[in-house]
Every structure is written in C-alpha cells, then in structure tokens.
A and B are shown apart, each in its own frame.
Chain A
Amino acid sequence: MHDDIIRQAVSAVSKGRPETVHTRKLSALLERTEVSAPAPELHPRYALQRIKTAAAGDTIRLSPLDMLRRYGKVSIPAFVIVAIAVGLTWHLMSIPAMNSVITAVEGKVQVFQGGLLSETHSPIPLQEGAVITTETGSGISLETGTGSGGKISVQAGEKSRFVLSRAAISQGKMYFTLTLEKGSVVLHVNRLSAGDSVMVRAADSMAEVKGTVFGVAVMENGETVYEVLQGKIRMSRRIPDGVTLNSEITDRIKSELMNQSVILEEKQSCRIRETISLYRSMTRENYTARIEKIQRPRIKKTPVQEMILGLAMTSPWEKPFPAIVTNRIEKSSVPTRQQTFREKTAGLLSVDKIEPSSFIMYSRYGDFLIVAGSNGYLSAAGSGGMQWDLDLKRSIRTKPLLMVEAMYVGSEDGTIISLDILKGSLRWQKQIFPSPDRTVKLAGDGDSVYILSNRGMVLRLKKDGTEIWRNSLGEEPVALIVTQHMVFVPGKSGIMVGFDKRKGIKVFKRQFDTKITTAARGDSRIYLLTDTGAVICYDFRNDEKLWTLDLHERSHASMQVDNGYLYTFSTAGRINKISNQGEILWSSQVRNAISRDPVFDERRVYILCDQSFYVLKKENGLIVWSMVSPPVLTGNITLSENNIYFAARKKGVVILKK
C-alpha cells in the first residue's frame, strides 16, 4: 500500500546522504503500527440515544461528567441520585413505559434524562428516571396516562427537584412513583384501576393514592408537608434513602412505620419531621427505643391553599403558573386559573333565533356584534341593544366577509349578498354559481371580493357586485389566498394554482407530492398542511419550497399565521407555534378537541372548544386561563378590545372579559 510512497520518500531522503536508509523498517513502521486512541467511554447505544434525542429537540448535550464539570455546585449525592436515576432508566427499559409528557413550562426548567440536561421551553416526553428541576419563579406541568383512560397530572412549583422514578405498566397494572427531593408538587390523579400504584416519595416518608388531588412539599428545614385537596391518601414514613440497616431491623422498622400510617382526607394536611438522625448508629439494641421516638403523624385540618398551593402556585395572576388541564374542569378542585363562567362573564346578550353553527363577528366600524345564523337570520346588537335584524331566508355555511362598511354573505344556493353594516339593509344580491356550486370561502382586499366555490370556481367581484373575472381550479379547493398580485388556490389533490389578480388568468401551477388539507398565508409564504400532518412552507415570490415540517399529527383543525409565526391546531387539542424557519417554538396541549378557528390578539390565543374555553399566551403557549363554557352554538369566536364573544345554547351571546 505504501510502497510507491516509501520508495519516493527513501529516494528523497537518500539524496546526498551517505547512510543507507532502511526501507524495510520504514515499511514495517507504516504497515504494522497504528495510532492508539482510548476507547470511547460512552456505550455506543447510550451515545446513539443522546444523538437522537438531541437531534430531535433543542437540547444541550451534557454527559453526567459534563454536568458535574459545568455545574460544579451539584453535590455528589445529587449526582449519584442522578446517576442512579439514569441507571434505573436503563435497567427498566424492558418494562413498557407509560407516556409521560411535560405539558407546560414556565420560566427556567431543566430536565435531565438519557444523559442529557436540557433547558426545556416546550413540551417534551419524559423517560423514567428523568430529573426535573425548576428554578426561582419557574414551574412545570406534566401528565402521564394511566393506561386505563385516566391520567396523573403533576404540577411542580418553583425551586423544586423531583425524579420520575417510575412510570410503567407491568402485568396490566400501572406503577407511578415520583420522588420529590425538594420544593413542592401537586398531583391530580384520576381514573385508576384496581391494583394501580401511584406514589410520591419524599426523604423519609411517602404517600400512596387512589384517585385524588394532593400536594407534597419538602421544606427547607427538611420537613415534608402533605396536603389533600380532594379524595384520600395513605401517608406513611419510610426508612430514609441512604440508610443501611441489617435486614431483621429493616423489616421490623418497616412494619412499625406502616402501622403508623395515616389516612389523609380532603382538606387535611400532615407535617413530617426529618428522622434521619434517629437511624444513625442504629443497632439491634437501641432501635426499639429510637423507633419509639418517631411519633404517629399528626393530621391537621389545614385550609386548602395555605401550604402546598402557597408553594406551588407562586405565580401571581399576571405571571400565571401552567394550568392543569383536566377533562372536566369544573370538577377540578385545583385552584389554578380555571375560571367559572360566572366569574368571566361580562354580560349576556339575548338574541333570538341563534342557530347552531352560526357565525359571530364584531364590527369595529359599527361597534356592534353581528350574528349570522346558519338559517340566514342575521342580527346586530351593541351596547344600545338590537341595531337591526334581517332574515335572508337562505342557508349560510360560510363565514361572512366583513369589510369596512359592508358585509358579504355567501349562501348555500350560490348567491352572494351584500349588506350595509350600519343599517342592515340589502345592498345587492347576485346569483353567482349555478347549483350544485356553493360558496366555501370569501376574501376581500379593499376594493374587491373574491369568492371560491366548493368545486374550485374563483370569482372576483367589484364591491358593487360587478363581476371582473372568473376562472376554475378544476378540482375541490382547500383555501383561498389573496396576495398583492395573485390569488392562490390550493386543491385537495396537492395542486396549487395562482391566478393573476387583474385578469384571472392562470399564471402559476405547482404540484405537491401530497394531498393538502388546509393552507394559510404569511408575508411572501404560503403554508400548506398535508394529509399526513406535515407543513410545507412555500415562498410564492421565488417559487421555492423552503421547508417541510412533519408534525406527526394528521387531524388538524386549523392553521393560522399571526405576526409571522405559524400556529397549527389539531383536533386532538395540540397547538404548535412554528417559526418561519420551520422550528417548533412551543407546543401546547388542551384537553378538548379544537374544531373552530381560534382567534388572536396581541398577546394571546383564544381557543373555543365545544364546552370549554382556553386562553394561551402567544409567547410560550402556557394556558393563561381556562373555563367550562355552556354548549357553544357559534362556529367561531370574535374579539373586541376587551371582550370575547360567542353564542351559547340557552345563554344567547356570551360576552367574556378577556
């Protein structure tokens, strides 16, 4: 292999030199030696997992040694605990793990799992053995499914550290153990099956639960406080971690401590003092006397919120702590920012004849609300009461288009109707589509109205109803996007056609490889959501596909662009905020299906589900407040400066304070 090179080198070296160069030796050195390198310290499988975890998310890559190097203050015992937790994770890998996910994060929260220390700002899945640390002013919510349809929600307050010691299903039973090292946690456990085990362990005590809401806090003086908000827990002491006793003593002490266990019921609390000093130098001779010093835990009737919630819910209203989202919010006794309907209602507006799937719009021009019923009955009401009403006697399935002084309504029979907003009078109406075409989308750009039919016909009308052009996509459309010079219409099959805005000529056509379910526009980009759950970002100015992001969720209800950021809303309740570079900035989860288009204001996203209402911060996706609403009738919600409006069965138009 090296012969040529060696010959050349030898000849070069021999030039002018009297010595004989030992070519065979040089050859031997080149052939029979190698660079010695130490063996990698990380097991390849472990290293591979780190890579995949890091490549999948925005994480800081730190090995346990890195962690010790960087965080020199981390005590050796803490490090050992971390190492044990990681070891435990590996050891228990054969047991099917439950799905534990961080659902909301406030402030600086660190998660150490799989050898990685990550500063998390968005929901991430947790593995067994994960160590979660919250810093001052921070908090975190996580959820674990119980495997039987129920779930365990954990809410940790600031300056807490806990280990997700176990979250697994074994032989049909669910095992969940959380070890709280410091700080406070509130658990909300529901729908457990017989034999399931949910446990919170503190330094020298533990609590077992069977469907309840309770909190545990490890105080700075080493005491542990338990507080039950709903249901019952069995609380008992345990031999502190790190204490080694002979097996006979251990069994006896365990039995003694179990005998001392107490049942804590709703609104009761219990304070456990540190007992580790009693175990030091414990022998067969002295253990009886020492154990006698451990008193049965005393139950106190402590008002709810005094201790645990005082710790866990450190954030004031304006700086909310992540809310626990439950299936039935009104039944949750965790006093997060879940609001009652009464608390949030600023008023109810009685409007007759509101039909299901009606549309509601707030007109700044008229400073009143317009409700367009699916049966064609329209009414406008403001602070002065009813302004006008009009019965079009036509079925409406498309959200009307509100322009400055006029409103355009597309009816099911292919007619477009223009109304005067202030008077509620008919300005003009025109049959634009023959049956079975009907209007599915309306858009406006100041001086024209663009109408899209269910069969892909696109029309441009002047504001007085004069038709400027019409053209056809030739297939079922999914969206109508009006830009400065073009009108883009993506079709379900993956085609996107651009019509020249002036004459309606097809000037652009692009075929994507996948079916499109919805589309949204932001600046010079069009975001297309595919039926496989991927978002395609397409730059229409440069005719270039910029990126594709797979959201791994097929059922998307809506996709909207606000301030250059893309928001996707799935029917499973997942909300993603995506940067224009295609990175998920945060991902949040609400418990109920999102089926209506959410709305935005400067700081928040308002999401109306069938019987619940959520308000999220746009900045980080945290739920600012949520509430159970009466059954909702309207297909959308609308906002004014200070209020939120939607229509509800038996309530009329509901006005909520923002």
Chain B
Amino acid sequence: MNEFSQTSDEELVKIFRAGDEKAFNALYARYYQKLFKLIYYYVSDTDLVEDVLHNVFIRVFRHVHTFNPQKSFSAWIYQIAVNCSKNELKKRRRNDDLVRQAALVISEKDEAEPSPEDIILTRHDIQAFSEAVNSLKDRFRDVFLLRFDQKMKYSDIAAVLKCSERTAKWRMKRAVENIALFLSDRGII
C-alpha cells in the first residue's frame, strides 16, 4: 500500500476503476479507522459499527463508478457512511431494538503532554465536555463532530450533511455556543 502513499483519494479511485484492486485496498486502509469512528458517533454497538462499515465499503466498491473524481472523495464516502449509519439507526428503531445513538465519551488526546503554560484539563472538565457534546441536538452534534473530531472542511461537511456551507458553519457556531453555555453553567469555564 505504500506505493499509493502520495496518491490522492481521487487518483486512487481512477486507478481502482482502471482495474487495480490495490487502489481500493489503499482507500480502505486510509478510511477504515476514520469511518469506524464516524459510524460510532451514531451507532454505539461495536459489532453494529463493523456491519455498517462493511456496508459502506460494499457500496463504495459497487458504486465507485458513479463517483465524480472532480469532487471530494472523502465527502462522498463520509456521506455514504452517515447515510448508512442513519439508515441503520432507523431500521433498529423501527424494529424496537434497544439501540440508542451513542453516548460519546470524550478523552484527552494522548499525543502530547501539556506544557506548564497550557491549561490543565481535569477529568471533571472532560467529563462535563462529553456531557455537553452529548446534550447537543443531532443536527448540531453532527456538524460539531465532523469538524471537531474528523477535522473536515466546512465544504465537505456541507456535502456530507446535504446542507449549505453557511448552514454548516452556523450549526458549528451554535454547537460551540451551546457547549460553552453548558460548561459555563457548571462553572467549568
């Protein structure tokens, strides 16, 4: 897969369409973890996440010829993942299965130790932040997670959630406001 490390997603799609299955493997490796996490936002059951992820890649595998390489592949695949996750949730709810949207747990990244100048985040702070995120309405939570956790561009978020870029930005702003309000009420900030 290293041979494709410098290749863009869209280029990989073209290569895969041309018949090189290794390109699909590379795309898969690139998005496997990210999508797993994205689907986990919606579906809390790990087994279910894997099933949904499986569906997402099958759709990609089967419908990759419909993808327009002029557009962002990540937005396309994220859109599929979000749709599949929402469909799965709907299906489960219809069947009265005990499936709830995941109550997300937020934790401190373990990549870097904070310096003495940095604000020290206590476990209490992070727990409250988790609660604040979980208390968001779905439409705000979706945008917030795509931006905050997946580091997506607003244009891609807009494409994934089928809204305008402006709406995506507005929802993000509202999400942060609500979180700030939530944390402020609890004396965290």
Contact = CB atoms under 8 A, between A and B. Distances in A.
A26 interface: yes
A35 B180 contact: no
B53 interface: yes
Given A21-B189, A40-B32, A8 B173 contact: yes
- Report whether over half of chain B's contact residues are helix, strand or loop; otherwise say mixed: helix
B148 A25 contact: no
Interface string A13-36: 100010101111111111011111
A13 B104 CA distance: 24
Contact of B106 (A5, A25, A34, A55): A34
Interface stretch (B4-12, B91-99, B107-115, B159-167): B107-115
Contacts of A41: 46-47, 50
A37 B36 contact: yes
Interface residues of A, number: 43
Contact of B173 (A9, A40, A55, A61): A9
A47 B58 CA distance: 11
B54 A54 contact: yes
A54 B58 contact: yes
B129 A29 contact: yes
Given A51-B61, A55-B58, A55-B61, A36 B181 contact: no
Contacts of B54: 47, 50-51, 54, 61
Given A26-B189, A34-B149, A44-B28, A21 B129 contact: no
B57 interface: yes
Given A22-B189, A42-B50, A2 B176 contact: yes
A248 B25 CA distance: 48
A9 B184 contact: no
Interface stretch (B71-79, B81-89, B118-126): B118-126
A66 interface: yes
B136 interface: no
B61 to A, nearest CB: 4
B37 A37 contact: yes
A65 interface: yes
Contacts of B40: 35, 37-38
A179 interface: no
Contact of A33 (B108, B172, B188): B108
Given A25-B189, A29-B125, A44 B184 contact: no
A124 B189 CA distance: 61
B138 interface: no
Contact of B177 (A13, A25, A65): A13
Question: What's the interface size class on B, roughly?
Answer: 35 or more
A6 interface: yes
A314 interface: no
A35 B176 contact: no
B145 interface: yes
Contacts of A9: 173, 176-177, 179-180
B28 A51 contact: yes
A13 B50 contact: no
A84 interface: no
Interface in B43-83: 46-47, 49-51, 53-55, 57-58, 61-62
Interface in A379-420: none
A55 B57 CA distance: 9
A65 B46 CA distance: 12
Contacts of B114: 28, 32
Given A21-B189, A51-B58, A54-B58, A32 B108 contact: yes
Contact of A35 (B25, B53, B125, B149): B149
A34, A41, A48 — most chain B CB neighbours (10 Å)? A34
Contacts of A13: 177, 180-181, 184
Contacts of B189: 21-23, 25-26, 29
Nearest to A65: B47
B106 A36 contact: yes
B183 interface: yes
A17 B184 contact: yes
B46 A33 contact: no
A63 interface: yes
Nearest to B133: A35
A24 to B, nearest CB: 5
A28 B173 contact: no
B180 A10 contact: yes
A61 B51 contact: yes
A35 B36 contact: no
Nearest to B106: A33
A66 B180 contact: no
A298 interface: no
A52 interface: yes
A25 B184 CA distance: 11
17 contacts: A1-B151, A8-B173, A8-B177, A10-B180, A12-B180, A17-B184, A19-B184, A22-B189, A26-B180, A29-B125, A29-B189, A33-B109, A33-B126, A35-B149, A40-B46, A48-B28, A55-B57
Interface of A: 1-2, 5-6, 8-10, 12-13, 17, 19, 21-30, 32-38, 40-42, 44, 47-48, 50-52, 54-55, 61, 63, 65-66
Given A51-B57, A61-B51, 15 more contacts: A5-B176, A6-B180, A9-B176, A9-B179, A13-B181, A22-B189, A27-B119, A29-B126, A29-B129, A35-B41, A41-B46, A54-B58, A61-B54, A61-B55, A65-B47
